[in-house]
Amino acid sequence: MGNEAADAAEAAGVTAFWRDLGLPGLVDIHTHFMPPNVLAKVWAFFEGGHSGAGHPWPIAYRRPEAERVALLRAFGVRRFSALLYPHKPDMAAWLNSWAAGFAARTPDALHSATFFPEPGAAAYVAEAIGAGARLFKAHLQVGGYDPRDEMLDAVWGMLAEAQVPVVVHCGSGPAPGAFTGPGPISGVLARHPQLTMIVAHLGAPEYGEFLGLAGRYPGVHLDTTMTFTGFLERLAPFPAALRPRLAAMADRILLGSDFPNIPYRYLDQLDALAQLDLGTPWLRAVCHDNAVRLLGL
């Protein structure tokens, strides 16, 4: 089956999923759009076997930007993010500038931004918030930094005060980093308890610990990115004993996919969530309503 036919078939499946739930579409809090040279390096990293996953990671949606946007729209994803993140100093402000341009030309994309522990971080984060950024991304594994770094204290404080959510990759999957796991980010929350934080990948593999953080801090949410798919279940299976806690957190879980950087179909993520059998209200909240409420869409 060619790309066009395969895309049409998958779009029909995704559309049937959200229509069956009585939704107007999906809101995906965890998708990636980046400058072409940066995204090419990300794809090379995953496909080159450097992810730490221990098995191949082919990029399922290796397409030009316009095609990727069109595909999300065909799926019925009404709003999606453009999460980007730096791996070194003097990179975040440039990424934020690109993201602002992407948001301006892509009205259904959430204006996203990022930061790094460096002297100018507070200034460019304030500028991004002032320019309308709706969502930030912090990647502790790739960035290799301590989120408790004093150069970030004002950044976390501004995000908490403005109630702008930040998606944080702080779990230790697919491979642990120096500052991953619940400990370092717990220090940030203790200092900024009003922070609206979305833990990426449900905090894999420390699922229980991050569900516990959500229980202690009302602003902590978690996204579903890659969780329950066959790919991540081989690497970091979600314990069946935690499913009741996941069900009880119905108002704190948000749909995330990692599109386009996934080694399987977009529909696989949705099917995996449906197979949890947590009920239609849970799926409606996760796939649409929670993000609409949190982001004021």
Q: How far is it, in rounded angstroms, from Cα 165 to Cα 81?
A: 12
- Residues near 20 by beta carbon (within 8 Å), at least 6 away in sequence: none
For the chain, residues with pLDDT lower than 70 are 1-2
Domain layout of the chain by residue ranges: 26-295
pLDDT at 49: 82
pLDDT at 261: 97
Q: What is this structure's pTM? A: 0.97
Tokens describing residue 8: 């049409």
pLDDT at 2: 62
Render pLDDT for 212-226 as a digit per residue (tens, 0 to 9). 999 999 999 999 999
CATH of domain 26-295: 3.20.20.140
Q: From the CB of residue 162, how many other CB atoms can be counted at a distance below 10 Å?
A: 14
pLDDT at 116: 98
CA torsion sign for 294, 106, 269, 168 is negative
**CA distances for 6 relative to 15, 71, 215, 261, 265, angstroms:** 14, 11, 41, 18, 10
Render pLDDT for 45-81 as a digit per residue (tens, 0 to 9). 999 887 877 788 999 999 999 999 999 999 999 999 9
